[in-house]
Amino acid sequence: MFLIGGAFTALAADLDGSFDDFEGNTIVGWGWDSSLPNTGVPVTVTITNKETGEQVKSFHQPAVTYRSDLEENGIGNGRHGFRINMNWDALADGAYVVEGTVDGKALSNPKTYVKGETAQTTAENNSTEESHEHTGLKSLGFFRTTGYCPCKQCSEGWGRRTSTGSIAKSSHTIAVDPRIIPYGSKVMINGIIYTAEDRGGGVKGNHVDIFFDTHAQTRQHGKQTQEVFLVLG
């Protein structure tokens, strides 16, 4: 059994949340309302059979578990995590969609849990087919590329939080003008495939801001002009 990440969805500016990688039978994530930065918000997690559309489980609880990584990245007092124990053994083999809401707003990255060897083989085959589909590229032209990192100078206090609710990662996250490159798009720059899941006040038009872990890496990248390719499929 394994997990497949879902597509990112833009959230309202004052509500953020995301699923993390699952820990065995534990569903892990976080959610908060930035207008009430130290207040726990209600989280609902639903599990649906992907084939039949039947909802097989629903959980309701506040996101109040302390996580140091959240506090370090400016997410309130850090008491905005949730951990939900799910008995997957009670379900039949198959693929299950795990979705969530933070105070009624959708979490940014639904997951798919696959149980059973037959279902896993099917999912792996589908994943392989998808990877083959992603071999197609379409040039979007030449863009100005810059870099940013979690420091206050670059992120203005946002840290690794993005405008879509995900946690930014190097060699993965880029900030874009969503009118030019929609959120969730995958693009290739200099051989690396990134996901458009953030935006910045100075990112407009043909401009891509690439996320790095450190300010030194950001400075090393500097300002460049590079061809940007949309990953098709």
User: Does residue 158 share a domain with residue 76?
Assistant: no
Domain end marker among 132, 147, 165: 132
Sign of the CA dihedral 158, 162, 166, 167?
A: negative
User: Does residue 220 share a domain with residue 141?
Assistant: yes
User: Does residue 202 share a domain with residue 87?
Assistant: no
Q: Domain containing 80: what range?
A: 2-132
Query: How is residue 119 written in tokens?
Result: 């279902």
- Cβ-in-10-Å burial (0-12, 13-18, 19+) of 225 comes to exposed
Distances (CA, A) of 68 to 79, 127, 166, 172: 9, 34, 17, 23
Distance CA 26, CA 81 (A): 13
In single-letter form, the type of residue at position 231 comes to V
Domain end marker among 113, 132, 151: 132
User: Does residue 110 share a domain with residue 44?
Assistant: yes
User: Does residue 179 share a domain with residue 115?
Assistant: no
Going by the DSSP 8-state scheme, the letter that residue 75 receives in this structure is S
User: Does residue 18 share a domain with residue 45?
Assistant: yes
User: Does residue 93 share a domain with residue 193?
Assistant: no
User: Does residue 85 share a domain with residue 27?
Assistant: yes
User: Does residue 102 share a domain with residue 125?
Assistant: yes
Per-residue pLDDT of the chain (233 residues; tens, 9 = 90+): 334 333 323 333 345 777 876 778 899 888 888 888 899 999 999 999 988 889 999 999 999 999 887 887 778 899 999 999 999 889 998 888 898 888 878 776 678 888 775 444 444 444 444 444 445 888 898 888 999 998 888 887 778 888 888 888 888 999 999 999 999 999 998 888 999 999 887 899 999 999 998 888 888 888 888 889 998 86
Domain end marker among 98, 132, 166: 132
**pTM of the entire predicted model:** 0.51
CA dihedral 131, 101, 66, 195 (to 10 degrees): 30
User: Residue 186 sits in a domain of what CATH number?
Assistant: 2.40.40.10
User: Does residue 222 share a domain with residue 118?
Assistant: no
User: Residue 65 sits in a domain of what CATH number?
Assistant: 2.60.40.3080
User: Does residue 201 share a domain with residue 153?
Assistant: yes
Q: In the chain, how many domains are there?
A: 2
User: Does residue 190 share a domain with residue 216?
Assistant: yes
